[in-house]
Amino acid sequence: MKIRNALVATTALCAASAVSAADLEVTHWWTSGGEAAAVAEFAKAFNAIEGNNWVDGAIAGGGGTARPVIVSRIIGGDPMHATQLNHGRQAEELVEAGLMLDLTDIAEEGGWRDIVHPVSLLDSCTLDGKIYCVPVNIHSWQWIWLSHKAYEDAGVDVPTNWDEFVAAAPALEAAGKVPLAMGQQSWQSSGAFGVLNVAIGGVDLWKQVNVDKNAEAAASPEMAEVFQAAADARLLSAGSNVSDWNQATAMVINGEAGGQIMGDWAQGEFAVAEKVAGEDYSCLPGLGVNEIISTAGDAFYFPKQDDPEIEAAQKELAKLLLSKEVQVNFNLKKGSLPVRGDVDLAAANDCMKKGLEILAAGNIMPSGDQVLSPDTQGQIEDLMVEFWNDTSITAEDAQARYADIIANAD
């Protein structure tokens, strides 16, 4: 993995040194079909302005691979001109170290506090009153994606909630299907656990643990039920031998698997495969138990450069990312919700409409990226991937280790 990262970093370095003044190297981890289609909208809009050139620095392997490359380039004095990160605490230390461009002037000029909704997205870009990033979307983890073909082949109804999903699993297995598609990377195991936590334990329990860092809540009987549900879910995913999240989504698209717990970026894959929400697949927010979305997502940061021309181009890109047209074109392909409410989303599909309704009703919660430090997130991810892949670790053992992590969390 280290060698691979080094190779990716070297490739990106060559690209960076080949650019001229108005060329911007932009790093991100959007490499699946849907993600690539979405980020192409950003590039198209930027390149449409005379003299601009988007130098694409896609890093394969997902956020878990890309983030260390991005952070080490910035710390190591080889910053890209712009980069995706999840809005929240991932860039906290980089901002504190003075490595990121302050965008407060253009944010005030553009009235970002009035147009970004919910404004908590902008708060996650703010440190000591200054704004350091542009939120570009709202992505929520709180979904399960279901394959109509898989359930039809198995002769059972498409589930409408988590209990029905679990009850339908034997029929799927009898039909040679994997009930729950899961990629093997740690962020995926941890993400799925978080979704089960909210659906089974409720959002208040999730907040006690993740926002208040209450170790007693993490060790509580209510949380034990969540761990038991996760232990049951890991058995349902036993036949899912894929690594990347979009490979797991492909299993749902092809009807090899019943469902996948995954963020709404999965929608981008269904769109590329020309599948129709409500006909070919269903989506259940909050696993059909409690409809809520987390206001996670992506933001763009602009590492400081000692070059006024580059800085001007960085700010131009920052403004563009929030423009109405770019917000609509990008988010329709990405499967995420726009960060501004004053845009025309007539083209939204059924799943996106559900997300918009939940947002309008104010049923939102923060994301783990917003409330936990990257270090704590990493510890939880390590535990979850181990638990998910090793059935000799009991729900009780995993819960005890989890409560320890929460006791020391920041």
86 counts as binding ligand BGC under rule CB under 6 A: yes
**Shorter beta-carbon distance to ligand BGC: residue 32 or 220:** 32
**Shorter beta-carbon distance to ligand BGC: residue 73 or 334:** 334
SS3 letters across the chain: CHHHHHHHHHHHHHHHHCCCCCEEEEEECCCCHHHHHHHHHHHHHHHCCCCCEEEEEECCCCHHHHHHHHHHHHHCCCCCCEEEEECCCCCHHHHHCCCECCCHHHHHHCCHHHHECCCHHHHCCEECCEECEEECCEECCCEEEEEHHHHHHHCCCCCCCHHHHHHHHHHHHHCCCEEECCECCHHHHHHHHHHHHHHHHCHHHHHHHHCCCCHHHHCCHHHHHHHHHHHHHHHHCCCCCECCHHHHHHHHHHCCEEEEECCCCHHHHHHHCCCCECCCEEEEEHHHCCCCEECECEEEECECCCCHHHHHHHHHHHHHHCCHHHHHHHHHHHCCECCECCCCCCCCCHHHHHHHHHHHCCCEECCHHHHCCHHHHHHHHHHHHHHHHCCCCCHHHHHHHHHHHHHCCC
CB 87 to ligand BGC: min, Å: 9
Interface with ligand BGC in residues 231-270 (CB under 6 A): 245, 265
**Shorter beta-carbon distance to ligand BGC: residue 258 or 335:** 335
CB 365 to ligand BGC: min, Å: 16
Interface with ligand BGC in residues 300-329 (CB under 6 A): none
Residue 359 and residue 350: Cα distance in Å, rounded?
Answer: 14
CB 63 to ligand BGC: min, Å: 4
CB 248 to ligand BGC: min, Å: 11
CB 65 to ligand BGC: min, Å: 10
Give the one residue of 25, 35, 269, 381 binding ligand BGC; rule: CB under 6 A. 35
Using CB positions, name the residue nearest to ligand BGC.
Answer: 265
89 counts as binding ligand BGC under rule CB under 6 A: no
Contact characters 44-63, ligand BGC, x per CB under 6 A: ------------------xx
87 counts as binding ligand BGC under rule CB under 6 A: no
Phi then psi dihedrals of residue 57, to 5 deg = -115, 55
**Shorter beta-carbon distance to ligand BGC: residue 57 or 63:** 63
**Shorter beta-carbon distance to ligand BGC: residue 12 or 172:** 12
**Shorter beta-carbon distance to ligand BGC: residue 61 or 202:** 61
**Shorter beta-carbon distance to ligand BGC: residue 29 or 112:** 29
Q: What are the distances in angstroms from CA 371 to CA 111, 152, 322, 374?
A: 26, 40, 24, 10
CB 164 to ligand BGC: min, Å: 27
CB 311 to ligand BGC: min, Å: 26
C-beta separation of 159 from 147 below 8 A: no
CB 307 to ligand BGC: min, Å: 29
**Shorter beta-carbon distance to ligand BGC: residue 182 or 223:** 182
Give the one residue of 73, 117, 139, 275 binding ligand BGC; rule: CB under 6 A. 139
**Shorter beta-carbon distance to ligand BGC: residue 332 or 395:** 332
Give the one residue of 298, 322, 402, 403 binding ligand BGC; rule: CB under 6 A. 298
The contact set with ligand BGC (CB under 6 A) reads 29, 35, 62-63, 86, 139, 245, 265, 297-298
